[in-house]
Structure 1
Amino acid sequence: MKQDIFRIPDFACRHCGKPVSQSFADLGMTPLCQTQIPPDRFNAPEKYFPLQAYVCTNCWLVQLRDCISSGDVFTSDYPYFSSFSPSWLAHAKAYVDTMVERLQLTPQSLVMELASNDGYLLRHFGPHGVPVVGVEPSGSVAKAARALGIRTEECFFGRATAQEMLGKYGPADLIAGNNVLAHVPDINDFVGGVKVSLKPHGTVTFEFPHLLNLIQQNQFDTIYHEHFSYLSLHAVQAVFATAGLEVYDVEKLSTHGGSLRVFGQHAGAAQARTARVDALLDEEREAGFLKVETYTAFAQQAQATKRDILSFLIEARRQGKRVGGYGAPGKGNTLLNYCGIGTDLIEFTVDANPAKQNTFAPGSRIPIYAPDHIREARPDFLFILPWNLKEEIMAQTAYIQEWGGQWVTPIPNPKVWSKPAVRN
């Protein structure tokens, strides 16, 4: 039989090691989504990488191929700072207050945060008198955390790092990881490090975008090179079990377009498993998470939304309307590059993060300004790239109504808003 030369070779699942060949989404070749381009590099060549997600039909982990290393992504000048989102800061404070009470944390406890960024979360333990230590591989944001007096280890976390920190700080009563579990290429080593660092009756919590929402809400733009994995509770439960941990509770969150917060402990530890765990596993099963067909249908959804977004932008420009963007998030750069959007369709975007201002978005080369540029440009449409923050952004930019401006959110399908949205 003639060999199919166009078949992409299998690769090993980053969790269970079984061969993976089933495609989930192919978003083409894109640059790294957080590599803003300075003006003096505008005409320089840029590296592009395949952005292709697959699903392992053995453990059901959705994942990218290994094409880049985490060190290439989370560099010393990594530009993402969590503290520039007021709603995210409020979310962090609410988490801290809840966990202090729920776990009865005291000045004799220790809290460790993995991917602690600029100290946006750990700072809130200070008023409670609870000691903390952060783990953050990116030098720029780790420096910002230390400036706040937050102990921060500048390294990638895994079993070896955990052993070193165990000798330095002792075991942790609480290990927190918000939007990091999807970012690690070696998920087994990372969660294995948690096993090393956690007290016998300690708790680990991970927050991550839920694959259920990604599929049902067509959130294809949340696929990018920083996210090595796309997580369901089924997949996380399997990863935990491999490390000798178990999930004992789970909560649904509204953050990042719909996330989960899982609570874990050492296998066989004291916390009883709640009914919410089994209920969510049943929900995923009913949604077809253990069927290949569920994953193969997703690519068609993404393609249809791409066409709808381009149709809207092309028609707006044909009518002489000006379109500006708000935000320069990773998801936004995935969307811009997958859809082939440049300055012919979106003239500019703005971002509150000074590290991103006066640069250009990767690939698309759309200029990024400070938010006050909106008043100067007076766009007819403000295209919200971090659509998960639409209520916050619309409230901040309500002034565009002065000249008849409207907002556009692209996901799950393009939608025009004439007045600020209100959270349900």
Structure 2
Amino acid sequence: MTRCRLCGSEAMASVVDLGATPPCESFLAADQLDQPEPAFPLHLRVCTDCWLAQIPPLITPEETFSEYAYFSSYSTSWVEHARTFVADAVRRLALGPDAFVVEVASNDGYLLRHMVDRGIRCLGIEPSVNVGAAAREADVPTLTEFLDPGVGSAVRAEHGPADLVVANNVYAHIPDVVGFTEGLRALVADDGWVSIEVQHLLTLIEENQYDTIYHEHFQYYTVASATRALASGGLTLVDVELLPTHGGSIRLWARPAEVAGEPSPAVADVLTREKAAGLQELSGYTEFSARVAKVRRDLLKFLVEAAERGETVVGYGAPGKGNTLLNHCGIRPDLLPYTVDRNPYKHGRFTPGTRIPILPPERIATDRPDYVLVLPWNLRAELTEQLSFVHEWGGRLVFPIPELSIVEVKA
């Protein structure tokens, strides 16, 4: 990578190099196991001019999202998060029966279903054909497209301007930051609102959350760099909320620059925190690579020692972040014979690169392993409750991030 995709600067500094891995959602069918599997460098750098952290755009969104393995509705806590957001947004923005809401990257309708239930006119824009079809089956109007300025203008011309545009967990997934932001501006009414949720680089660095670095995530935002990204498309940040989702996210509230006004005190507060953490200078990034290496060593030591003791360890979940962790650590079926997942789309498939079988969740109760390695560690509270049954045979849960943690669960 020679230039920053936001500001064009060539002043790019290395943050962490995770080697080369396959795309994290490219789960393998059994008949693909003897075929070559492409892998791409996974090297995070930061621009020392605008401080946008980013990886090279080595794969395209079309390659990743035309057929997608992630369905949001399989996470109970995520559906509840969406329901709460809708209730709060309706109240905050006084959205009534005449309002129009658009969600970009609307997945299987997990969020807009709550708008539908409230009788609020809405539209999802979802690039994945299979996931968008699931949304339409759930009576959530959904357009199969990638957002760009042309699509934004076409939707506005057909449906009218949106009072609220929601873009949750997608602002990191697009390499053309400026074009995507211009698309958001094309969608939103001149006096409307844009709400974006994206993982916070501050917590990623502080909590060793390096497994959320993968090829789908082209960039990683602080509030400072997000402010600049929004401005590139004619939007101004007016408020920010700190969220616990994905290990620590930010909810950015933006408006067209012409009507934005002064930002809330919360914006200044978070900017101060980021500056204190050194994220607007190289000092905030220099120790991250060493802490990532320790996560790897600690997890491998645990798995090897468990195997030598004759104890069994299986996985829970097959999230994209888990595949970064498994590939970086070099974990294969000899150390983790299988993982399970609630999403039946993944059953009978294998994790990319590491080729670990993915089975239905019921397999854990059948096999009664000594340990369950929880790969979606960001759902710790939800999954600790879901997996509480492992106490019946003395099983324990293992969380690899932010540091190795072995937990005895209670009934």
Taking a change above 3 Å as real, the CA distance of residues 333 and 270 of structure 1, as seen in their structure-2 partners, is closer
**Cα distance in 1 for residues equivalent to 2:367 and 2:85:** 38
1:74 aligns with 2:65: yes
**Structure 2 counterpart of 1:299, from 289, 299, 318:** 289
Does the 8 Å contact 1:204/1:265 carry over to 2? Answer: yes
Deviation, structure 1 residue 20: 4.2
1:37 aligns with 2:32: no
**Cα distance in 2 for residues equivalent to 1:319 and 1:219:** 29
1:84 aligns with 2:79: no
**Cα distance in 2 for residues equivalent to 1:406 and 1:42:** 31
What stretches of structure 1 move > 2 A for 4+ residues in a row?
none
Q: Which residue of 1 aligns with 2:86?
A: 96
Deviation, structure 1 residue 198: 1.0
Does the 8 Å contact 1:11/1:65 carry over to 2? Answer: no
- Secondary structure at 1:45 match in 2: coil
TM-score, scaled relative to structure 1: 0.95
- Between 11-20 and 264-273, the greater mean CA deviation after superposition: 264-273
1:352 aligns with 2:342: yes
- Secondary structure at 1:181 match in 2: coil
- Secondary structure at 1:193 match in 2: helix
Deviation, structure 1 residue 271: 5.3
**Cα distance in 1 for residues equivalent to 2:57 and 2:69:** 23
- Secondary structure at 1:183 match in 2: coil
1:409 aligns with 2:409: no
Deviation, structure 1 residue 127: 2.5
**Cα distance in 1 for residues equivalent to 2:98 and 2:262:** 24
Encode CA deviations 1:52-91: one digit per residue, 9 max, x unaligned.
111001100000112111111112x211000000000000
**Cα distance in 2 for residues equivalent to 1:291 and 1:273:** 24
Does the 8 Å contact 1:328/1:351 carry over to 2? Answer: yes
**Structure 2 counterpart of 1:216, from 206, 216, 241:** 206
**Cα distance in 2 for residues equivalent to 1:194 and 1:29:** 33
Does the 8 Å contact 2:203/2:248 carry over to 1? Answer: yes
For 1:48, the aligned partner's letter is A
Encode CA deviations 1:215-248: one digit per residue, 9 max, x unaligned.
0000010000000011110000011122221111
**Structure 1 counterpart of 2:49, from 48, 54, 58:** 58
Deviation, structure 1 residue 270: 5.1
For 1:17, the aligned partner's letter is G
Q: Which residue of 2 aligns with 1:390?
A: 380
1:245 aligns with 2:235: yes
1:191 aligns with 2:155: no
Instruction: Count the aligned residue pairs.
Output: 411
Q: Which residue of 1 aligns with 2:169?
A: 179
Deviation, structure 1 residue 214: 0.3
**Cα distance in 1 for residues equivalent to 2:250 and 2:144:** 27
**Cα distance in 2 for residues equivalent to 1:182 and 1:127:** 29
**Cα distance in 2 for residues equivalent to 1:21 and 1:291:** 12
Encode CA deviations 1:187-228: one digit per residue, 9 max, x unaligned.
110011111111111110100110000000000100000000
**Cα distance in 1 for residues equivalent to 2:379 and 2:208:** 16
- Secondary structure at 1:37 match in 2: coil
- Secondary structure at 1:215 match in 2: helix
Deviation, structure 1 residue 272: 4.2
Does the 8 Å contact 2:238/2:260 carry over to 1? Answer: no
**Structure 2 counterpart of 1:49, from 17, 40, 45:** 40
TM-score, scaled relative to structure 2: 0.98
**Cα distance in 1 for residues equivalent to 2:208 and 2:355:** 25
Taking a change above 3 Å as real, the CA distance of residues 420 and 213 of structure 1, as seen in their structure-2 partners, is farther
**Cα distance in 2 for residues equivalent to 1:87 and 1:326:** 16
- Secondary structure at 1:248 match in 2: strand
**Structure 1 counterpart of 2:2, from 5, 11, 19:** 11
1:282 aligns with 2:272: yes
C-alpha RMSD of matched pairs (Å):
1.2
For 1:281, the aligned partner's letter is L
Does the 8 Å contact 1:20/1:54 carry over to 2? Answer: no
Q: Which residue of 2 aligns with 1:314?
A: 304
Does the 8 Å contact 2:254/2:260 carry over to 1? Answer: no
Q: Which residue of 2 aligns with 1:6?
A: none
Encode CA deviations 1:95-144: one digit per residue, 9 max, x unaligned.
00010111011121110000000000000012321100000000000000
Which runs of 5 or more residues in structure 1 are unaligned? 1-9
**Cα distance in 1 for residues equivalent to 2:196 and 2:51:** 19
Matched ranges for 1:327-342 at <5 A? 327-342=317-332
**Cα distance in 2 for residues equivalent to 1:12 and 1:137:** 27
For 2:6, the aligned partner's letter is H
1:233 aligns with 2:232: no
Does the 8 Å contact 2:341/2:360 carry over to 1? Answer: yes
Does the 8 Å contact 1:391/1:420 carry over to 2? Answer: no
For 1:23, the aligned partner's letter is S
Encode CA deviations 1:160-183: one digit per residue, 9 max, x unaligned.
111111111111000001100000
Does the 8 Å contact 2:51/2:225 carry over to 1? Answer: yes
